[in-house]
């Protein structure tokens, strides 16, 4: 007997597909009986967590009988002083993922629409689907570049949120400062721009903006940041959002009181001050990206130049096969199928050694298949 014949989940949940994460290392080890597995699938920091964060975590282990600080006061203080913001302009989340859900719960009525330049991060759609709102995908332009005119052309009376992921996951392309200003200038004032800067620290172009400078400009914008990427803290789950005080106040209404655990709070507070780790991670990523570009060029593979810590590579019709063969050799990347990019894989930038292992494996797979 199926109990759910009688107890019906909400109808809109039929529309929600489970998130498909990168395969974890242990699973691939078990499946293919491998000792060494290299994971380049979830854009994690290959240098590991900030050492200062690890120290802070060890110092707080004995406090775990206590509830976390519901206001994350110390972390807010650290972020506010680092970015010269007011604490009232901040909300901390159990990862930026939670903030996307909270934003959706705060702003989306069932008749509302969100605009998502696509392909992009699937959590935006998830939040909208959860609320029964409608997702309007707007294809990125040539070379996956942002197309502000196309975005503006899809704005309707129902548009509530416009998501901008810059650098964009999975393409690595970014919205220039001038383009963001154009977007903010032309969007109706009742549309909130959600600027996801999860990868902002990896951007190297002079005309990139992380969006924070626009928070106090009078434009309706909210900026998301995470400790999962450059700070290397994906496992503890912590991110934050920055907006004007009134926007933050509304979102606080839907937040669970103890959403950010103690270890996440102390780790993030330490990590934001760990300039050395951030700098080393930035440099390692920059040279790792160059290492990958060079190899892809030599292999005759087209790639999209990335402002982020991953590279989208066009492998061709055999992309799924190549992805599976890489798995068997103990190298986890992401197949582009989830984004409708069936000829692509997305490869996170690893350490020099990890990148080398990927390049060698890729070369031998392509050679074997006579794809070179």
Ligand X SMILES: *Cc1c(COP(=O)(O)O)cnc(C)c1O
Which residues of the chain form contacts with ligand X (CB under 6 A)? 43, 95-97, 121, 165, 169, 196, 198, 226, 228-229, 234, 239
Whether the CB-CB separation of 262 and 342 falls below 8 Å is answered with no
Which residue's Cβ has the minimum distance to ligand X? 95
Considering the complex, what minimum distance in angstroms separates the CB of residue 6 from ligand X? 35
Shortest Cβ 329–ligand X spacing (Å):
25
Of 78, 109, 99, which Cα lies nearest the Cα of 252?
99
Q: Would you say 166 or 179 has its CB closer to ligand X?
A: 166
Q: How far is the CB of 372 from ligand X (least distance, A)?
A: 31
Report helix, strand or coil for 345.
Answer: strand
* CA–CA distance, 356 with 103 (Å, rounded to integer): 40
CB of 43 to ligand X, least distance (A): 6
What's the longest Cα–Cα distance across the chain? 61
Asked if 121 contacts 196 with a C-beta cutoff of 8 angstroms, the reply is yes
Q: How far is the CB of 169 from ligand X (least distance, A)?
A: 4
**CB of 182 closer than 8 Å to CB of 210:** no
126 vs 219 by CB, closer to ligand X: 126
Nearer to ligand X, 96 or 362 (CB): 96
DSSP string for residues in 307-332: SSSEEEEE--TTHHHHHHHHHHTTEE
CB of 228 to ligand X, least distance (A): 3
Phi, psi at 297, each rounded to 5°: -60, -45
Of 289, 298, 293, whose CA–CA distance to 367 is shortest?
A: 298
98 or 325: CB nearest ligand X: 98
Q: Which is nearer to ligand X, 76 or 229 (CB)?
A: 229
Our CB check for ligand X shows the closer of 89 and 171 to be 171
């Amino acid at each position: 007997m199926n109990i759910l014949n009688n107890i019906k989940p909400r109808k809109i949940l039929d529309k929600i597909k489970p998130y498909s994460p990168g395969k974890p290392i242990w699973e691939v080890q078990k499946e293919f009986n491998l000792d060494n597995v290299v994971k380049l699938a979830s854009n994690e920091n290959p240098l590991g967590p900030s050492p200062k964060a690890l120290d802070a975590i060890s110092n707080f282990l004995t406090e775990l009988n206590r509830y976390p600080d519901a206001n994350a006061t110390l972390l807010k203080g650290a972020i506010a002083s680092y970015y010269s913001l007011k604490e009232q302009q901040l909300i901390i989340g159990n990862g930026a993922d939670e903030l996307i859900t909270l934003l959706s719960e705060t702003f989306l009525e069932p008749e509302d629409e969100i605009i998502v330049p696509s392909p992009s991060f699937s959590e935006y759609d998830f939040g909208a689907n959860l609320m029964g709102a409608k997702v309007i995908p707007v294809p990125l332009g040539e070379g996956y570049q942002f197309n502000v005119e196309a975005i503006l052309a899809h704005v309707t009376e129902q548009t509530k949120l416009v998501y901008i992921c810059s650098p964009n996951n999975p393409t690595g392309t970014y919205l220039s400062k001038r383009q963001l200003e154009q977007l903010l200038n032309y969007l109706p004032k009742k549309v909130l721009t959600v600027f996801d800067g999860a990868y902002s620290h990896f951007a190297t172009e002079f005309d990139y903006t992380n969006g924070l400078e626009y928070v106090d400009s009078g434009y309706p914008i909210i900026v998301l940041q995470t400790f999962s990427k450059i700070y290397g803290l994906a496992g503890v789950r912590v991110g934050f959002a920055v907006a004007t005080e009134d926007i933050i106040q509304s979102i606080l209404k839907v937040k669970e009181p103890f959403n950010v655990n103690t270890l996440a709070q102390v780790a993030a507070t330490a990590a934001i001050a760990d300039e050395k780790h951030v700098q080393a991670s930035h440099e390692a990523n920059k040279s790792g990206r160059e290492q990958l570009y060079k190899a892809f060029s030599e292999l005759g593979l087209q790639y999209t130049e990335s402002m982020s810590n991953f590279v989208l590579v066009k492998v061709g019709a055999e992309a799924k096969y190549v992805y599976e063969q890489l798995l068997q050799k103990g190298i986890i990347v992401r197949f582009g199928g989830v984004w409708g990019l069936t000829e692509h894989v997305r490869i996170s930038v690893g350490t020099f050694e990890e990148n080398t292992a990927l390049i060698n494996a890729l070369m031998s797979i392509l050679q074997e298949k006579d794809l070179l």
